[in-house]
Amino acid sequence: MGYDKHSVSAITYDSVSALLGTGRKTRGSADRAAFGKSVEFLAAEEGTGLTFYSVQSEADAARLASGGTPWPTGLQRANLGEGLYAWGNQADAAAYAANKPGSVIMQFNMSASDYSSLNTLDMGTMSEDAATEWMSTYSEWGAAQPHGFDHIIRPTSMGTEYYFSPNAFQLFK
């Protein structure tokens, strides 16, 4: 059904696994030991790649497993633009999913070399004023001008959110 071809390496809830007919299992004990660590820490520790966790409805999980299109738009679904929104660890994704009845958590993997090649904005390095100004210009909260980034790292009250453009989404293995 496009599961392997379109970058979803595992789905953590049985309902989506059954929906997509993948038969895959959740990750093993070595990954559970790393539960809650940031993607940057895991990349440095493992040296192989990065794992991200995205909270989705079952319909959106199926859409992502089939290539992602049509991408959602608007303030509530695509504040930084069309693409994949994810968390850097399973704990943050689970906390976010707790407020989204019927949601599922999908796992996406990207090689360290692909990740490092992305045109990235890390909003965590910006002052609060600069981040507010940037959001006013480039997010759906403001003028929604095109920003040109493949990847944006954005600290939130729930944890760090990772945005990936549709082009970057194609790099997930």
CA pair distance 122, 66, nearest whole angstrom: 29
Dump pLDDT digits (tens) for 146-157: 999 999 999 999
The yes-or-no verdict on residue 91 having pLDDT over 90 is yes
Residue 52: both structure tokens together: 């991200």
Q: How confident is the model at residue 13 (pLDDT cuts 50, 70, 90)?
A: very low
Average pLDDT over residues 62-86: 89
Domain spans in the chain, listed from the N-terminal domain onward: 8-169
* Cα dihedral 140, 145, 150, 154 sign: negative
Give the model confidence (pLDDT) of 15-63 as tens digits: 333 333 333 222 222 332 333 334 544 444 555 789 999 999 999 999 9
- From residue 14, alpha-carbon distances to 25, 62, 85, 133 in Å are 9, 13, 21, 42
pLDDT band at 104 (very low <50, low <70, confident <90, very high): very high
pTM of the entire structure? 0.74
User: Is the distance from CB of 123 to CB of 153 less than 8 angstroms?
Assistant: yes
What pLDDT score was predicted for residue 8? 37
Q: Which residue has the tokens 């199926």?
A: 62
Q: Which tokens hold the place of 136?
A: 């006013």
SS3 content of the chain, % helix, strand, coil (to 5): 35, 25, 45
Query: What span, in angstroms and rounded, lies between the C-alpha atoms of 157 and 168?
Result: 25
